[in-house]
Amino acid sequence: MEKRALGLPSKLAEVKYEIRGRVLLEAEKCAANGTDILPLHIGNPGPFGFEPPAEVLKATKEAVTASLSYSDSRGLKTLVHKVQERLQNQGSPEVPFDHIYIGNGVSELIMMACQCAFSRGDEVLVPAPDYPLWTAAIKLTGATPVYYLCDEAEDWQPSLSDLRSKVNDKTKAIVLINPNNPTGAVYSDTALTELAKFVSENNLLAFSDEIYSQILFDDAQFYPFAKVLNQVDPRAICLSFDGLSKNGFAAGYRCGWMTLTGDLSESRGFLDGLNMLSALRLCPNVLAMHSAIAFLNTSASGRLEDATMQRLIQQRAALCDGLRQIEHLSFVEPKGAFYVFPRIDLKKTAFATDEDFAIKLVQDFGILTVPGSAFNSFDEEHVRLVFLPRTDLLQTVCRNLNSLLSSTDTGHTKAEKRPSIA
């Protein structure tokens, strides 16, 4: 009998996650040949010396023995109550206990929610650029992501006119990412109110990814979309996502939460699905949930610790100041998260696409980034940079970027020696 071969299932054929794609593979080749790689491709605070508050680390160590058993499938009751308190402090609408779900990171909750909400033939409005997990999660259900413009000329705010041109009778939901990954935009209260009206008028589900809600710069303010939507239409359903990975600087702990607001009285099937998927994974990581309880106890203000915030402010300034000196490059200064999403004028360089640029950047300088096209943007002229490294590293990065972009050919460019990450 001929041996059975395993191919790629059809449901995965169109799913991509280029943050860990071709450019990363090139970086791994370079690393195998002795190149020191600077990982600016993912928002992973740990390697750059960021830690959760000391109280969180202490609680994690103390909870090791208490975390040996399964919890309730939706999560520890104490953590659910802490999430409820957090929402009350934000002024969000009241959320019943059984409308809060804890997950192994927001990523798991996004996948669960999409599996329960969408079917083949549904269309979901997704921001362009987006965080590509959203596109993947939607495609895995058989639904179709339809991209709406976040306008670079308007500080990356969502375009209502573009949204209105793309909604139809197949449209079931809209995804918001605020503060935004990859652009660093923070949506204004005016923009969110208009989006809430759009959601209500078109009877859509709203999915609001708010994992960076505490990482804000200058005069930026975060407005929970569930709160804004409730003021426009209390019946409209909003699924909101938050967690430890970014706001808590504990990406490896894998703990997030999802809250459901609005009138779910006719959504029994959706809730049954969430409860079933919660039960199938048995429970979230119990040790990480104890960490999350301590985090919510120490972050009632909704702002980062001063030392952490000051470091991020300095690093954002170092990167933005350096980028301003680079020819053929422009950008919108981020108001939230820890990314900058500059545009490269490829017509004035030796590169055909943003991926070509990103590959050359890692080959010549060991700087690993993500091309903008990986975020389903409408062009191939952007790259996402992370400003988690120290200022001296970021200054070196900018000098190397300038060297590469000022080169008129694609030959090897001499790299400047850079400080170590640690």
Instruction: Give the pLDDT confidence of 5-37 residue by residue, as tens digits.
Output: 777 777 777 777 665 678 888 999 999 999 899
Ramachandran quadrant class, 282 (left: phi over 0; alpha: psi -120 to 50; beta: rest): left
Distances in Å between the alpha carbon of 292 and those of 15, 53, 105, 222, 298? 31, 11, 11, 21, 10
* pLDDT at site 408: 52
Q: Which of 18-22, 51-55, 237-241, 301-305 has the highest mean pLDDT?
A: 237-241
Residue 415 has pLDDT above 70, yes or no: no
Q: Given the DSSP bridges, would you call strands 144-151 and 157-158 parallel, antiparallel or unpaired?
A: antiparallel
- The one-character DSSP state at 104 is S
Beta-carbon count within 10 A of 255 CB: 28
Q: Where are the domains of the chain?
A: 15-50+305-406, 54-298
- Per the prediction, the chain carries an average pLDDT of 91
- The Cα diameter of the chain in Å comes to 69
* pLDDT at site 92: 84
Architecture of the structural domain at 54-298: 3-Layer(aba) Sandwich (3.40)
Percent of the chain with pLDDT over 90: 80
Q: CATH number for the 15-50+305-406 domain, one of 2.160.10.10, 3.90.1170.50, 3.10.20.600, 3.90.1150.10? A: 3.90.1150.10
Beta-carbon count within 10 A of 287 CB: 18
Residues 261-279, mean pLDDT to the nearest whole number: 95
Comparing CA positions, the residue from 108, 114, 116, 115 lying closest to residue 126 is: 114
* pLDDT at site 422: 45
* pLDDT at site 347: 86
Q: Exposed, middle or buried by CB within 10 Å (0-12, 13-18, 19+), for 133? A: middle
pLDDT digits (tens, 9 = 90+) for 291-344: 999 999 987 655 677 889 999 999 999 999 999 999 899 999 999 999 999 999
171-208: b (≥16 Cβ within 10 Å) or e: bbbbbbbbbbbbbbbbbbeebbbbbbebbbebebbbbb
Q: Which two tokens stand for residue 256?
A: 């997030």
- The one-character DSSP state at 35 is P
User: Which pTM value belongs to this model?
Assistant: 0.92
* 3 state SS of 164: helix
